A = this chain, B = another copy of it.
Amino acid sequence: MNRKTGFFGILAMSILALAGPAFADELSGGDTAWVMTSSALVLLMLPGLALFYAGMVRSKNVLSTTMMSFICMGVIAIQWVVYGYSLAFGGGAHPLIGGLDTLMLSSISPETLSGSIPTYVFIAFQGMFAIITPALISGAVVERMKFSAFTIFIILWATLVYDPLCHWVWGEGGWLLELGALDFAGGTVVHISSGVSALAAILVLGKRRGFLKEQFVPHNLTMTLLGSGLLWFGWFGFNAGSSLAANGTAAMAFLSTNTASAAGLVGWLIIEKIKFGKPSALGAASGCVAGLVAITPGAGFITPAWAIPVGFIAGILCFQGVCLKNKFGYDDSLDVLGVHGIGGTWGAIATGLVATVGTGSLITGDIHQLWVQVIGVLAAATYAFVVTFIIIKVLDAVIGIRASEAEEIEGLDQSQHGEVGYSL
């Protein structure tokens, strides 16, 4: 049992560990307050992500980039209530998928509890994860993917990729959970899955006109920095909320998250300083996100002190990651693979390397956990890549996923939304 994690694992662990006043089937006001707060924080990551991404594109695409996050807030929030939650967390203890027994959240009322919190809170919190994950992918396809195609894509992707993966890792009976793969707050489910799906999508979508020839200069870096600040803030909910209780595990996850983010920021700036002589503001924004991604799978298992190397190395690895696209020539516009794919993978592995709280890892002599982590990464990455590739291929054949050349030149704000970002 102490190897398992995800919702039920963590829940059990935290109750046993702290012997607090919270027992299953009795509502804890403190836990409920914290997980509601955390859910709100994760929701705020969407506008944060929108700013983070939108600041990096050219001004003619600022709104269309933002809209790719907002449409996830619209469409996936509904999908989750209608059937997504049920697919991920419903059903019996099937290893691969949930059930259809809680469609429309039927049978749940304000009195229904999940551990020490109302089930509605658990649904809300998990729903925010379902919303943000496809929004992360958007960073790779901005400036050229049709808005209509993206909208349909995220519904299919949430249904066919996210909901099953979520079940594998966090759902009752999910096979990765049973295997003992640790993913405290979504390194596998959220970051690796979005990173490799981004790659699959752009392989079909193709490069932006002028990629590697023209300079795609970020149009407003203050927006990106504010976005990264909101992401950092929201990530406390993402990670510390994942303990589903206001307890010592949440507290450690909170502090480890903050520390890894800081270390990621510093790591990225140092390598920039070495390579280019100057640390950049975009580097700071990117580095803290890299650190946050990397600590996500292990936030509840890794101490703040160990979070320093985890974050620092993430800053350096993701810096290398974003350089790959120039070498290999695929146009991962805002580096979803480079930051989320690579950062998430590193974080999942790092959990097997340095986790010391509530689990074993390499440094405690538990090499098995490391292997389990690797299996989790490979399984999730393969599944997400293959299914995404198929979805995108089919979508492209049926409705076409790419804006026309004229639309791309004009900018997607005008061509997809009939608007311009600024009339200063």
Interface residues of A (CB under 8 A from B): 17-18, 20-22, 26-34, 36-37, 39-41, 43-44, 46-48, 50-51, 54, 58-59, 62-64, 66-67, 70-71, 73-78, 81-82, 104-106, 109-112, 117-121, 123-124, 127, 147, 217-223, 225-226, 228-230, 232-233, 236-237, 240, 245-252, 254-255, 258-259, 261-263, 265-266, 269, 276, 278-282, 284-285, 287-288, 303-305, 307-308, 357, 413, 416-424
Q: Which residues of chain B are near A41, meaning CB under 8 Å? A: 40
Contact status of A254 and B305, CB under 8 A, knowing A32-B247, A222-B421: no
Contact status of A63 and B29, CB under 8 A, knowing A120-B254, A236-B36, A266-B75: no
Contact status of A109 and B417, CB under 8 A, knowing A36-B34, A66-B225, A304-B81: no
Say yes or no: A81 contacts B117, CB within 8 Å.
Answer: no
User: What's the minimum C-beta distance from A41 to chain B, rounded to whole angstroms?
Assistant: 7
Q: Which residues of chain B are near A269, meaning CB under 8 Å? A: 71, 74
Say yes or no: B110 contacts A262, CB within 8 Å.
Answer: no
Going nearest first, the 4 A-B pairs with the smallest beta carbon separation are A29-B30, A47-B229, A110-B248, A77-B262
Contact status of A247 and B281, CB under 8 A, knowing A47-B225, A288-B74, A305-B105: no
Contact status of A225 and B74, CB under 8 A, knowing A43-B236, A248-B111: no
A66: nearest chain-B partner, CB-CB: B225
Say yes or no: A229 contacts B29, CB within 8 Å.
Answer: no
**A263 to B20, alpha carbons, bound, how many Å?**
39
Query: Which of A17, A32, A280, A419 has the most C-beta atoms of chain B within 10 angstroms of its own C-beta?
Result: A32
A268: nearest chain-B partner, CB-CB: B74
Say yes or no: A47 contacts B110, CB within 8 Å.
Answer: no
Query: Which of A26, A288, A420, A423 has the most C-beta atoms of chain B within 10 angstroms of its own C-beta?
Result: A423
Say yes or no: A36 contacts B226, CB within 8 Å.
Answer: no
User: What's the minimum C-beta distance from A105 to chain B, rounded to whole angstroms?
Assistant: 6
**A50 to B223, alpha carbons, bound, how many Å?**
12
